[in-house]
A and B are shown apart, each in its own frame.
Chain A
Protein backbone atom coordinates (compact mmCIF):
# COMPACT_ATOMS: atom_id res chain seq x y z
CA UNK A 1 0.00 0.00 0.00
CA UNK A 2 1.32 3.41 -0.93
CA UNK A 3 0.52 6.63 0.85
CA UNK A 4 0.71 9.81 -1.19
CA UNK A 5 1.21 13.00 0.76
CA UNK A 6 1.96 16.64 0.09
CA UNK A 7 5.69 17.13 0.45
CA UNK A 8 5.24 20.61 1.91
CA UNK A 9 3.05 19.79 4.90
CA UNK A 10 2.72 16.01 4.95
CA UNK A 11 -1.06 16.03 4.50
CA UNK A 12 -2.26 12.72 3.11
CA UNK A 13 -3.73 12.95 -0.37
CA UNK A 14 -4.41 9.39 -1.44
CA UNK A 15 -3.94 5.80 -0.32
CA UNK A 16 -3.77 2.84 -2.65
CA UNK A 17 -1.76 0.46 -4.74
CA UNK A 18 -2.09 2.23 -8.07
CA UNK A 19 -0.41 5.59 -8.28
CA UNK A 20 0.09 8.04 -11.09
CA UNK A 21 3.39 7.80 -12.90
CA UNK A 22 4.97 10.29 -12.91
CA UNK A 23 3.73 11.75 -9.68
CA UNK A 24 2.38 15.27 -9.84
CA UNK A 25 4.74 17.89 -8.51
CA UNK A 26 4.67 18.46 -4.81
CA UNK A 27 3.70 14.91 -3.85
CA UNK A 28 5.75 12.20 -2.17
CA UNK A 29 5.17 8.50 -1.59
CA UNK A 30 5.48 6.42 1.54
CA UNK A 31 5.51 2.65 1.03
CA UNK A 32 3.64 1.09 3.92
CA UNK A 33 5.19 -2.01 5.41
CA UNK A 34 2.96 -5.08 5.88
CA UNK A 35 2.57 -4.20 9.57
CA UNK A 36 1.69 -0.60 8.76
CA UNK A 37 -0.72 -1.73 6.05
CA UNK A 38 -2.54 -4.05 8.41
CA UNK A 39 -2.72 -1.34 11.07
CA UNK A 40 -4.03 1.26 8.63
CA UNK A 41 -6.79 -1.06 7.53
CA UNK A 42 -7.99 -1.72 11.07
CA UNK A 43 -7.45 1.78 12.38
CA UNK A 44 -4.76 0.72 14.81
CA UNK A 45 -2.33 2.94 12.92
CA UNK A 46 -2.69 6.30 11.24
CA UNK A 47 -0.71 8.70 9.10
CA UNK A 48 1.10 11.45 10.94
CA UNK A 49 1.65 14.47 8.67
CA UNK A 50 4.08 16.04 11.10
CA UNK A 51 6.58 13.20 10.95
CA UNK A 52 5.51 11.83 7.51
CA UNK A 53 5.29 8.39 9.06
CA UNK A 54 2.70 5.84 10.09
CA UNK A 55 2.17 5.90 13.85
CA UNK A 56 0.05 4.02 16.35
CA UNK A 57 -3.41 5.53 16.70
CA UNK A 58 -3.53 7.03 20.19
CA UNK A 59 -6.03 5.29 22.44
CA UNK A 60 -7.05 2.77 19.80
CA UNK A 61 -8.87 -0.27 21.14
CA UNK A 62 -9.50 -3.30 18.98
CA UNK A 63 -13.29 -3.20 18.51
CA UNK A 64 -13.35 -6.90 17.71
CA UNK A 65 -12.05 -7.72 21.17
CA UNK A 66 -15.10 -7.68 23.32
CA UNK A 67 -14.90 -7.56 27.07
CA UNK A 68 -15.92 -11.22 27.22
CA UNK A 69 -13.17 -12.21 24.83
CA UNK A 70 -10.64 -10.17 26.80
CA UNK A 71 -11.59 -11.85 30.05
CA UNK A 72 -11.53 -15.30 28.45
CA UNK A 73 -8.12 -14.73 26.96
CA UNK A 74 -6.75 -13.45 30.26
CA UNK A 75 -8.09 -16.52 32.05
CA UNK A 76 -6.48 -18.81 29.52
CA UNK A 77 -3.19 -17.04 29.89
CA UNK A 78 -3.38 -17.28 33.66
CA UNK A 79 -4.12 -21.01 33.51
CA UNK A 80 -1.25 -21.64 31.15
CA UNK A 81 1.09 -19.69 33.41
CA UNK A 82 -0.09 -21.66 36.43
CA UNK A 83 0.53 -24.95 34.65
CA UNK A 84 4.02 -23.91 33.65
CA UNK A 85 4.73 -22.83 37.19
CA UNK A 86 3.60 -26.22 38.52
CA UNK A 87 6.06 -27.95 36.24
CA UNK A 88 8.85 -25.67 37.33
CA UNK A 89 8.07 -26.14 40.99
CA UNK A 90 7.31 -29.87 40.80
CA UNK A 91 9.35 -32.16 43.21
CA UNK A 92 11.35 -35.15 41.98
CA UNK A 93 9.09 -37.51 40.13
CA UNK A 94 8.38 -40.90 41.67
CA UNK A 95 7.74 -44.32 40.23
CA UNK A 96 4.08 -43.73 40.76
CA UNK A 97 3.91 -41.03 38.12
CA UNK A 98 2.64 -42.12 34.70
CA UNK A 99 5.91 -41.31 33.02
CA UNK A 100 7.96 -43.58 35.22
CA UNK A 101 5.30 -46.27 35.22
CA UNK A 102 5.81 -46.46 31.48
CA UNK A 103 9.55 -46.64 31.96
CA UNK A 104 9.12 -49.45 34.48
CA UNK A 105 7.01 -51.30 32.00
CA UNK A 106 9.70 -50.80 29.39
CA UNK A 107 12.31 -52.10 31.78
CA UNK A 108 10.24 -55.21 32.44
CA UNK A 109 9.83 -55.77 28.74
CA UNK A 110 13.55 -55.44 28.16
CA UNK A 111 14.28 -57.85 30.98
CA UNK A 112 11.87 -60.38 29.56
CA UNK A 113 13.41 -60.05 26.15
CA UNK A 114 16.85 -60.57 27.58
CA UNK A 115 15.71 -63.68 29.42
CA UNK A 116 14.13 -65.12 26.35
CA UNK A 117 17.21 -64.33 24.35
CA UNK A 118 19.31 -66.14 26.91
CA UNK A 119 17.10 -69.20 26.59
CA UNK A 120 17.31 -68.99 22.83
CA UNK A 121 21.06 -68.84 22.98
CA UNK A 122 21.14 -71.80 25.33
CA UNK A 123 18.98 -73.82 23.01
CA UNK A 124 21.18 -72.79 20.10
CA UNK A 125 24.25 -73.88 22.00
CA UNK A 126 22.76 -77.27 22.72
CA UNK A 127 21.85 -77.64 19.09
CA UNK A 128 25.41 -76.81 18.06
CA UNK A 129 26.79 -79.34 20.55
CA UNK A 130 24.50 -82.00 19.21
CA UNK A 131 25.53 -81.31 15.68
CA UNK A 132 29.17 -81.39 16.68
CA UNK A 133 28.74 -84.83 18.26
CA UNK A 134 27.04 -86.09 15.15
CA UNK A 135 29.82 -84.72 13.01
CA UNK A 136 32.51 -86.41 15.11
CA UNK A 137 30.65 -89.74 14.93
CA UNK A 138 30.48 -89.36 11.19
CA UNK A 139 34.17 -88.61 10.93
CA UNK A 140 35.01 -91.76 12.95
CA UNK A 141 32.85 -93.86 10.72
CA UNK A 142 34.53 -92.52 7.63
CA UNK A 143 37.95 -93.06 9.15
CA UNK A 144 37.10 -96.69 10.02
CA UNK A 145 35.88 -97.31 6.51
CA UNK A 146 39.09 -95.95 5.09
CA UNK A 147 41.27 -98.10 7.36
CA UNK A 148 39.30 -101.25 6.49
CA UNK A 149 39.80 -100.53 2.84
CA UNK A 150 43.50 -100.17 3.18
Chain B
Protein backbone atom coordinates (compact mmCIF):
# COMPACT_ATOMS: atom_id res chain seq x y z
CA UNK B 1 0.00 0.00 0.00
CA UNK B 2 1.49 3.32 -0.97
CA UNK B 3 1.79 6.23 1.45
CA UNK B 4 -0.95 8.84 1.25
CA UNK B 5 0.10 11.87 -0.72
CA UNK B 6 -0.67 15.45 0.09
CA UNK B 7 -3.04 15.78 -2.85
CA UNK B 8 -4.97 12.71 -1.74
CA UNK B 9 -5.52 14.24 1.66
CA UNK B 10 -6.52 17.58 0.18
CA UNK B 11 -9.09 15.98 -2.11
CA UNK B 12 -10.58 13.82 0.61
CA UNK B 13 -10.96 16.81 2.93
CA UNK B 14 -12.76 18.99 0.35
CA UNK B 15 -16.48 19.09 1.14
CA UNK B 16 -18.69 17.70 -1.55
CA UNK B 17 -20.52 20.32 -3.57
CA UNK B 18 -23.70 19.49 -5.34
CA UNK B 19 -23.39 19.82 -9.08
CA UNK B 20 -26.84 21.40 -9.25
CA UNK B 21 -28.53 24.08 -7.14
CA UNK B 22 -30.36 22.69 -4.17
CA UNK B 23 -32.33 24.86 -1.83
CA UNK B 24 -33.12 24.75 1.85
CA UNK B 25 -36.14 26.31 3.45
CA UNK B 26 -35.16 28.79 6.11
CA UNK B 27 -36.89 28.63 9.46
CA UNK B 28 -39.03 31.70 8.88
CA UNK B 29 -42.46 30.65 9.93
CA UNK B 30 -45.22 31.60 12.30
CA UNK B 31 -44.68 28.65 14.60
CA UNK B 32 -47.35 29.92 16.99
CA UNK B 33 -49.96 29.12 14.34
CA UNK B 34 -48.14 26.37 12.44
CA UNK B 35 -48.20 28.29 9.18
CA UNK B 36 -45.74 30.06 6.96
CA UNK B 37 -45.55 33.78 7.31
CA UNK B 38 -48.74 35.23 5.88
CA UNK B 39 -50.05 38.71 5.23
CA UNK B 40 -53.22 40.17 3.78
CA UNK B 41 -52.63 43.04 1.42
CA UNK B 42 -55.37 45.47 0.46
CA UNK B 43 -55.61 47.22 -2.86
CA UNK B 44 -56.34 50.91 -3.11
CA UNK B 45 -59.89 52.17 -2.96
CA UNK B 46 -59.14 53.45 -6.45
CA UNK B 47 -59.23 50.57 -8.97
CA UNK B 48 -55.98 49.57 -10.67
CA UNK B 49 -53.96 51.51 -8.12
CA UNK B 50 -51.49 50.02 -5.68
CA UNK B 51 -52.61 50.05 -2.06
CA UNK B 52 -50.53 50.40 1.06
CA UNK B 53 -47.50 48.21 1.64
CA UNK B 54 -48.27 45.32 3.97
CA UNK B 55 -45.45 43.75 5.92
CA UNK B 56 -45.18 39.97 5.68
CA UNK B 57 -41.81 39.37 7.33
CA UNK B 58 -40.45 42.00 9.72
CA UNK B 59 -36.86 40.80 9.67
CA UNK B 60 -35.52 37.74 7.88
CA UNK B 61 -33.51 35.37 10.02
CA UNK B 62 -30.70 34.68 7.57
CA UNK B 63 -29.47 35.50 4.08
CA UNK B 64 -31.89 34.15 1.51
CA UNK B 65 -31.44 33.20 -2.11
CA UNK B 66 -35.09 33.59 -2.96
CA UNK B 67 -38.69 33.33 -1.92
CA UNK B 68 -41.45 30.82 -2.50
CA UNK B 69 -44.75 32.57 -2.50
CA UNK B 70 -48.37 31.58 -2.92
CA UNK B 71 -51.91 32.81 -2.51
CA UNK B 72 -53.65 31.13 0.37
CA UNK B 73 -57.21 31.49 -0.83
CA UNK B 74 -59.51 32.53 -3.62
CA UNK B 75 -59.50 36.20 -4.50
CA UNK B 76 -62.64 36.21 -6.57
CA UNK B 77 -65.97 34.53 -6.75
CA UNK B 78 -67.11 32.28 -9.53
CA UNK B 79 -68.36 34.28 -12.42
CA UNK B 80 -66.53 37.44 -11.46
CA UNK B 81 -63.30 38.52 -13.05
CA UNK B 82 -60.91 40.41 -10.83
CA UNK B 83 -57.55 41.47 -12.15
CA UNK B 84 -55.04 41.49 -9.31
CA UNK B 85 -51.37 42.32 -9.18
CA UNK B 86 -48.96 42.02 -6.28
CA UNK B 87 -45.51 43.56 -5.89
CA UNK B 88 -42.82 42.45 -3.48
CA UNK B 89 -40.60 45.01 -1.82
CA UNK B 90 -37.81 45.18 0.73
CA UNK B 91 -37.19 47.90 3.27
CA UNK B 92 -38.60 49.63 6.30
CA UNK B 93 -42.12 51.00 6.22
CA UNK B 94 -42.40 54.06 3.98
CA UNK B 95 -39.02 53.18 2.49
CA UNK B 96 -39.91 50.02 0.58
CA UNK B 97 -38.01 49.33 -2.64
CA UNK B 98 -39.85 47.23 -5.20
CA UNK B 99 -37.97 44.05 -6.03
CA UNK B 100 -40.60 42.10 -7.97
CA UNK B 101 -43.15 44.33 -9.60
CA UNK B 102 -46.76 43.55 -10.47
CA UNK B 103 -47.11 39.76 -10.48
CA UNK B 104 -50.53 39.03 -11.96
CA UNK B 105 -53.05 36.75 -10.35
CA UNK B 106 -56.53 35.60 -11.19
CA UNK B 107 -59.22 33.62 -9.43
CA UNK B 108 -57.53 31.27 -7.03
CA UNK B 109 -54.50 30.84 -9.19
CA UNK B 110 -51.24 30.81 -7.32
CA UNK B 111 -52.89 29.02 -4.45
CA UNK B 112 -51.80 25.47 -5.17
CA UNK B 113 -48.89 26.34 -7.38
CA UNK B 114 -46.32 28.37 -5.51
CA UNK B 115 -43.85 30.43 -7.46
CA UNK B 116 -40.15 30.53 -6.74
CA UNK B 117 -38.38 33.84 -7.28
CA UNK B 118 -34.60 33.83 -7.13
CA UNK B 119 -33.73 37.00 -5.26
CA UNK B 120 -30.89 37.89 -2.94
CA UNK B 121 -32.36 38.99 0.40
CA UNK B 122 -29.82 39.85 3.10
CA UNK B 123 -30.41 38.84 6.68
CA UNK B 124 -32.57 41.22 8.66
CA UNK B 125 -34.58 42.44 5.69
CA UNK B 126 -38.20 43.50 6.00
CA UNK B 127 -40.37 42.10 3.22
CA UNK B 128 -43.66 43.76 2.29
CA UNK B 129 -46.37 43.30 -0.32
CA UNK B 130 -48.42 45.78 -2.29
CA UNK B 131 -51.64 44.98 -4.11
CA UNK B 132 -53.71 46.52 -6.88
CA UNK B 133 -56.92 45.29 -8.44
CA UNK B 134 -59.73 46.04 -10.82
CA UNK B 135 -61.89 45.79 -7.70
CA UNK B 136 -61.59 48.63 -5.20
CA UNK B 137 -60.08 47.61 -1.84
CA UNK B 138 -59.66 43.99 -2.97
CA UNK B 139 -57.80 41.90 -0.38
CA UNK B 140 -55.56 38.92 -0.94
CA UNK B 141 -53.67 36.78 1.56
CA UNK B 142 -50.25 35.44 0.72
CA UNK B 143 -47.87 33.02 2.35
CA UNK B 144 -44.12 33.06 1.93
CA UNK B 145 -41.11 30.89 2.53
CA UNK B 146 -37.52 31.97 2.29
CA UNK B 147 -35.00 29.66 0.71
CA UNK B 148 -31.27 29.41 1.11
CA UNK B 149 -28.72 27.65 -1.02
CA UNK B 150 -25.18 26.43 -0.99
CA UNK B 151 -23.14 29.56 -0.34
CA UNK B 152 -20.65 28.56 -2.97
CA UNK B 153 -23.26 29.13 -5.63
CA UNK B 154 -23.39 32.56 -7.19
CA UNK B 155 -25.83 34.92 -5.54
CA UNK B 156 -29.05 35.65 -7.39
CA UNK B 157 -29.68 39.27 -8.35
CA UNK B 158 -30.82 41.75 -5.75
CA UNK B 159 -31.90 44.20 -8.39
CA UNK B 160 -35.42 44.69 -9.62
CA UNK B 161 -37.16 41.79 -11.27
CA UNK B 162 -39.01 43.47 -14.03
CA UNK B 163 -42.08 42.12 -15.62
CA UNK B 164 -42.88 42.06 -19.28
CA UNK B 165 -46.44 42.09 -20.37
CA UNK B 166 -47.95 43.46 -17.17
CA UNK B 167 -50.71 45.92 -17.96
CA UNK B 168 -50.97 48.05 -14.86
CA UNK B 169 -54.03 50.01 -16.01
CA UNK B 170 -56.05 46.78 -16.15
CA UNK B 171 -54.25 44.88 -13.38
CA UNK B 172 -53.60 42.00 -15.75
CA UNK B 173 -51.11 40.55 -18.19
CA UNK B 174 -51.05 40.87 -21.96
CA UNK B 175 -54.10 39.42 -23.68
CA UNK B 176 -53.08 36.50 -25.89
CA UNK B 177 -54.53 35.88 -29.32
CA UNK B 178 -56.98 32.99 -29.19
CA UNK B 179 -56.29 29.80 -31.20
CA UNK B 180 -58.56 28.98 -34.13
CA UNK B 181 -59.01 25.28 -33.36
CA UNK B 182 -58.54 22.88 -30.48
CA UNK B 183 -55.08 21.64 -29.60
CA UNK B 184 -53.50 24.01 -32.12
CA UNK B 185 -51.18 26.82 -31.12
CA UNK B 186 -52.45 30.32 -31.65
CA UNK B 187 -50.61 33.10 -33.42
CA UNK B 188 -47.87 34.83 -31.47
CA UNK B 189 -48.78 37.83 -29.30
CA UNK B 190 -46.09 40.36 -28.48
CA UNK B 191 -45.47 41.12 -24.80
CA UNK B 192 -42.64 43.63 -24.76
CA UNK B 193 -39.04 44.30 -25.64
CA UNK B 194 -36.44 43.52 -23.00
CA UNK B 195 -34.69 46.51 -21.50
CA UNK B 196 -31.86 44.44 -20.07
CA UNK B 197 -30.42 40.97 -20.62
CA UNK B 198 -31.97 38.13 -18.68
CA UNK B 199 -30.78 34.68 -17.67
CA UNK B 200 -34.15 33.27 -16.67
CA UNK B 201 -37.84 33.86 -17.29
CA UNK B 202 -40.75 33.04 -15.01
CA UNK B 203 -43.94 32.84 -17.08
CA UNK B 204 -47.25 33.72 -15.44
CA UNK B 205 -50.42 32.68 -17.28
CA UNK B 206 -53.72 33.90 -15.87
CA UNK B 207 -57.34 34.06 -16.83
CA UNK B 208 -58.48 37.44 -18.05
CA UNK B 209 -62.22 37.00 -17.84
CA UNK B 210 -65.03 35.66 -15.72
CA UNK B 211 -65.51 32.62 -17.94
CA UNK B 212 -65.49 29.29 -16.18
CA UNK B 213 -64.35 26.52 -18.46
CA UNK B 214 -62.44 23.31 -18.20
CA UNK B 215 -59.48 23.02 -20.52
CA UNK B 216 -55.95 21.78 -20.72
CA UNK B 217 -53.53 24.38 -21.98
CA UNK B 218 -50.03 24.38 -23.35
CA UNK B 219 -48.29 27.72 -23.80
CA UNK B 220 -44.99 28.88 -25.26
CA UNK B 221 -42.74 31.85 -24.72
CA UNK B 222 -40.54 32.97 -27.58
CA UNK B 223 -38.29 35.77 -28.71
CA UNK B 224 -37.97 37.34 -32.11
CA UNK B 225 -38.05 40.55 -34.09
CA UNK B 226 -41.55 39.94 -35.48
CA UNK B 227 -44.40 37.44 -35.26
CA UNK B 228 -43.09 35.51 -38.26
CA UNK B 229 -39.62 35.03 -36.82
CA UNK B 230 -40.17 33.88 -33.28
CA UNK B 231 -37.88 31.33 -31.65
CA UNK B 232 -39.41 29.33 -28.83
CA UNK B 233 -37.38 29.65 -25.63
CA UNK B 234 -39.86 28.04 -23.24
CA UNK B 235 -42.00 25.36 -24.84
CA UNK B 236 -45.25 23.65 -23.89
CA UNK B 237 -45.73 24.71 -20.31
CA UNK B 238 -48.87 22.99 -19.11
CA UNK B 239 -51.68 24.91 -17.48
CA UNK B 240 -55.19 23.99 -16.44
CA UNK B 241 -58.44 25.86 -16.39
CA UNK B 242 -60.40 23.80 -13.90
CA UNK B 243 -63.95 24.98 -14.29
CA UNK B 244 -63.61 28.19 -12.36
CA UNK B 245 -62.11 31.44 -13.41
CA UNK B 246 -58.64 30.38 -12.35
CA UNK B 247 -55.90 29.29 -14.69
CA UNK B 248 -53.10 27.44 -13.00
CA UNK B 249 -49.81 26.69 -14.71
CA UNK B 250 -48.49 23.39 -13.48
CA UNK B 251 -44.96 24.62 -13.06
CA UNK B 252 -43.86 28.03 -11.95
CA UNK B 253 -40.16 28.34 -11.66
CA UNK B 254 -37.43 30.19 -13.50
CA UNK B 255 -36.62 28.74 -16.88
CA UNK B 256 -33.00 29.23 -17.84
CA UNK B 257 -32.55 31.37 -20.93
CA UNK B 258 -29.88 33.65 -22.33
CA UNK B 259 -31.63 36.58 -23.88
CA UNK B 260 -29.87 39.84 -24.67
CA UNK B 261 -31.20 43.31 -24.17
CA UNK B 262 -33.48 44.49 -26.93
CA UNK B 263 -35.05 41.11 -27.68
CA UNK B 264 -38.83 41.06 -28.06
CA UNK B 265 -40.80 38.54 -26.01
CA UNK B 266 -43.86 36.74 -27.46
CA UNK B 267 -46.46 34.30 -26.16
CA UNK B 268 -48.98 31.82 -27.62
CA UNK B 269 -51.08 28.90 -26.42
CA UNK B 270 -53.18 25.90 -27.39
CA UNK B 271 -56.23 24.63 -25.52
CA UNK B 272 -58.22 21.38 -25.48
CA UNK B 273 -61.48 23.27 -25.22
CA UNK B 274 -62.47 25.74 -27.90
CA UNK B 275 -64.82 27.50 -25.50
CA UNK B 276 -61.74 28.81 -23.85
CA UNK B 277 -60.88 30.68 -27.02
CA UNK B 278 -63.74 33.02 -26.28
CA UNK B 279 -62.20 33.75 -22.94
CA UNK B 280 -59.17 35.81 -22.28
CA UNK B 281 -55.82 34.46 -21.27
CA UNK B 282 -53.21 36.85 -19.97
CA UNK B 283 -49.50 36.20 -20.06
CA UNK B 284 -46.65 38.00 -18.40
CA UNK B 285 -43.07 36.94 -17.85
CA UNK B 286 -40.82 37.96 -15.02
CA UNK B 287 -37.26 38.42 -16.15
CA UNK B 288 -34.36 37.49 -13.91
CA UNK B 289 -31.45 39.74 -14.84
CA UNK B 290 -27.92 38.47 -15.15
- Which residue numbers of A lie inside 8 Å of B, CB to CB? 2, 4, 11-21, 23-24, 27, 41, 43, 46-47
For B92, give its contact among A15, A19, A41 (CB under 8 Å).
A19
Q: Which residue of A lies closest to B125 (CB)?
A: A18
Beyond A20-B92, A23-B94, is A14–B52 a contact (Cβ under 8 Å)?
yes
Within 8 Å CB of B36, what residues of A? Answer: none
Chain B interface, number of residues (Cβ within 8 angstroms): 19
Asked if residues A20 and B40 are in contact (CB atoms below 8 Å), the reply is no
Q: Mark B234-261, 1 if CB is under 8 A from A, else 0.
A: 0000000000000000000000000000
Asked if residues B59 and A18 are in contact (CB atoms below 8 Å), the reply is yes
Task: Give the A-B contact count at a CB cut-off of 8 A.
Answer: 59
Q: Which residue of B lies closest to A19 (CB)?
A: B93
Q: Which of A11, A16, A17 has the most CB of B within 10 A?
A: A16
Beyond A41-B40, A43-B139, is A20–B52 a contact (Cβ under 8 Å)?
no
- Which residue numbers of B lie inside 8 Å of A, CB to CB? 40, 42, 51-55, 58-59, 91-96, 126, 128, 137, 139
Bound CA–CA A18/B51 (angstroms): 18
Asked if residues A15 and B94 are in contact (CB atoms below 8 Å), the reply is no
Bound CA–CA A19/B96 (angstroms): 10
Asked if residues A24 and B95 are in contact (CB atoms below 8 Å), the reply is yes
21 A-B pairs with C-beta separation under 8 A: A4-B52, A4-B93, A12-B51, A13-B94, A14-B53, A14-B93, A14-B128, A15-B55, A15-B93, A16-B55, A17-B58, A18-B55, A18-B126, A19-B92, A19-B93, A20-B91, A20-B94, A21-B92, A43-B40, A46-B42, A46-B137
Within 8 Å CB of B92, what residues of A? Answer: 16, 18-21
Bound CA–CA A15/B55 (angstroms): 6
Bound CA–CA A108/B52 (angstroms): 76
For B93, give its contact among A11, A16, A41 (CB under 8 Å).
A16
Q: Which of B51, B59, B94 has the most CB of A within 10 A?
A: B94
Bound CA–CA A36/B88 (angstroms): 25
Bound CA–CA A43/B126 (angstroms): 22
Chain B nearest Cβ from A12, distance in angstroms: 4
Bound CA–CA A19/B93 (angstroms): 4
15 new A-B pairs (CB below 8 Å) besides A16-B58, A16-B128? A13-B93, A14-B53, A14-B54, A14-B96, A15-B53, A16-B54, A16-B126, A18-B55, A18-B59, A18-B126, A20-B92, A20-B95, A23-B94, A24-B94, A46-B137
Q: Which residue of B lies closest to A42 (CB)?
A: B40
Within 8 Å CB of B126, what residues of A? Answer: 16, 18
Chain B nearest Cβ from A5, distance in angstroms: 8
Q: Which residue of B lies closest to A17 (CB)?
A: B58
